[in-house]
């Protein structure tokens, strides 16, 4: 590993639904983090490593930069153990980072300029950015009117000293290369932190579990996804191209189980088909992979109401095992 590159952690923080996970997937060019139109999709920190070449000023050689992105749950007020767990994960990631990437949604009137943030949100995001260099990504510019964008960019330019604001679209990729350059320039010089071929610290099991959870967000009504947790029960690689997975969807009440299963099992079947396709694409990486997926629904009474319940469905706080 060379000693003269820029390398470090970049925490992606922001309000729920601004496009943090979409951006990580776009940068890595793969389906790693769950994405949905509903807020509070991401529950855990997810690491994704990406290297870029940083042109040197003048005629010097380009410097490599290894950026270790940490996708986080949207920062929000901590009501209830699950929300607190998610908020802690986001703030801890920002605390540990070398650069904070604050992502804002240019189409969302609530959060698109600093003055519009709720006090608690502003305090949490301000805290996250105070101790580290900060880059602000103004996202979803594909949907924002150009004239509306300028005041948004201007407003964020004075959020913190030395801040750089980069308009982007995580969906189309517009501006993302410039954003990565702005982040890379702020990383410390030093040895690479991860092997050159490493993309994530997350296992294929975690990626599969997130894809199933993502389908729950896509296919269930407004409230129900928040009552669901997914755990992989068994994982068997029959060959390099064939994988059998059994997963449990934990819900909190019998009535929820009935909805997830659907009439005659129709809903769970639909979920299974969509998840199986996405898992085989994500894990096969274009090489073709046959996935057999069995889904079961189980009631774990009130799992989101306490720390023991969270632990029972796999949410373990930092430092626990």
Ligand X SMILES: Nc1nc2c(ncn2[C@@H]2O[C@H](COP(=O)(O)OP(=O)(O)OP(=O)(O)O)[C@@H](O)[C@H]2O)c(=O)[nH]1
Residue 132 tokens, joined = 């580290």
Pick between residue 20 and residue 50 the one whose CB is nearest to ligand X. 20
The site map against Mg ion for 152-181 (x = CB under 5 A) is ------------------------------
Q: Considering the complex, what minimum distance in angstroms separates the CB of residue 38 from Mg ion?
A: 10
Q: Considering the complex, what minimum distance in angstroms separates the CB of residue 29 from ligand X?
A: 15
- Residue 17 binding Mg ion, by CB under 5 A: no
CA 125 to chain CA centroid, Å, is 16
Pick between residue 5 and residue 18 the one whose CB is nearest to ligand X. 18
H helices within 54-203, ranges in order? 81-96, 119-130, 146-157, 176-185
Pick between residue 219 and residue 312 the one whose CB is nearest to Mg ion. 219
Rounded Cα distance between 2 and 196, Å, is 11
Q: Which does 39 bind (CB under 5 to 8 A by kind): Mg ion, ligand X, none?
A: ligand X
Nearest to residue 279, comparing CAs of 257, 256, 246? 246
Q: Considering the complex, what minimum distance in angstroms separates the CB of residue 76 from ligand X?
A: 8
Nearest to residue 68, comparing CAs of 177, 241, 184, 207? 184
Pick between residue 27 and residue 297 the one whose CB is nearest to ligand X. 27
Question: By CB under 5 A, which span of 41-49, 85-93, 120-128, 160-168 interacts with Mg ion?
Answer: 41-49
Q: Which helix (H) or strand (E) holds 20?
A: helix 20-28
Q: Considering the complex, what minimum distance in angstroms separates the CB of residue 265 from ligand X?
A: 28
φ, ψ for residue 64 (rounded to 5)?
A: -80, 150
Nearest to residue 9, comparing CAs of 74, 66, 91? 66
Task: Report in angstroms the alpha-carbon separations of 125 from 46, 81, 251, 253.
Answer: 19, 20, 31, 35
Nearest to residue 133, comparing CAs of 105, 160, 172? 160
Pick between residue 18 and residue 243 the one whose CB is nearest to ligand X. 18
Q: Considering the complex, what minimum distance in angstroms separates the CB of residue 293 from ligand X?
A: 22
Q: Which does 40 bind (CB under 5 to 8 A by kind): Mg ion, ligand X, none?
A: ligand X
Binding-site ranges for ligand X (CB under 6 A): 16-22, 35-37, 39-42, 73-74, 139-140, 142-143, 169-171
Q: Pick from 5, 7, 15, 42: which binds Mg ion (CB under 5 A)?
A: 42
Q: Pick from 19, 21, 48, 303: which binds Mg ion (CB under 5 A)?
A: 21
Please report the sign of the dihedral spanned by the C-alpha atoms of residue 291, residue 294, residue 300, residue 304.
Answer: positive
Q: Do the strands 99-105 and 5-13 form a parallel or antiparallel pair, or are they unpaired? A: parallel
DSSP at 200: B
Residues contributing to the site for Mg ion (CB under 5 A):
20-21, 41-42
């Amino acid at each position: 590993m060379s000693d003269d590159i820029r390398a470090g952690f970049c925490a992606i923080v922001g309000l729920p639904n601004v496009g943090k996970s979409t951006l990580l997937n776009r940068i890595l060019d793969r389906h790693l983090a769950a994405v949905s139109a509903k807020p509070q999709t991401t529950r855990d920190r997810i690491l994704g490593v990406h290297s870029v070449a940083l042109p040197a000023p003048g005629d010097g050689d380009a410097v490599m930069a290894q950026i270790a992105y940490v996708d986080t749950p949207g920062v929000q007020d901590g009501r209830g153990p699950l929300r607190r767990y998610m908020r802690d994960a986001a703030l801890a990631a920002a605390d540990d980072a070398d650069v904070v990437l604050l992502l804002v949604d240019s189409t969302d009137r609530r959060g698109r300029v600093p003055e519009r943030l709720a006090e608690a949100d502003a305090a949490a995001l301000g805290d996250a950015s105070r101790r580290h260099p900060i880059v602000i990504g103004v996202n979803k510019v594909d949907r924002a009117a150009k004239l509306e964008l300028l005041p948004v960019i201007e407003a964020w330019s004075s959020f913190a000293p030395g801040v750089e604001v980069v308009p982007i679209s995580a969906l189309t990729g517009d501006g993302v290369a410039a954003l990565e350059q702005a982040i890379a320039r702020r990383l410390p010089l030093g040895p690479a932190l991860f092997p050159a071929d490493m993309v994530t610290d997350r296992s294929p099991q975690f990626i599969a579990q997130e894809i199933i959870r993502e389908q729950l967000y896509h296919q269930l009504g407004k409230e129900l996804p928040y009552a669901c947790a997914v755990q992989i029960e068994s994982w068997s690689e029959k060959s390099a191209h064939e994988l059998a997975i059994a997963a449990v969807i934990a819900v909190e009440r019998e009535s929820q189980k009935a909805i997830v299963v659907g009439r005659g099992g129709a809903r769970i079947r639909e979920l299974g088909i969509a998840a199986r396709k996405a898992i085989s694409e994500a894990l096969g990486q274009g090489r073709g992979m046959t996935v057999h997926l069995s889904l079961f629904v189980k009631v774990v009474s009130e799992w989101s109401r306490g720390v023991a319940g969270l632990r029972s469905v796999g949410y373990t706080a930092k430092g626990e095992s």
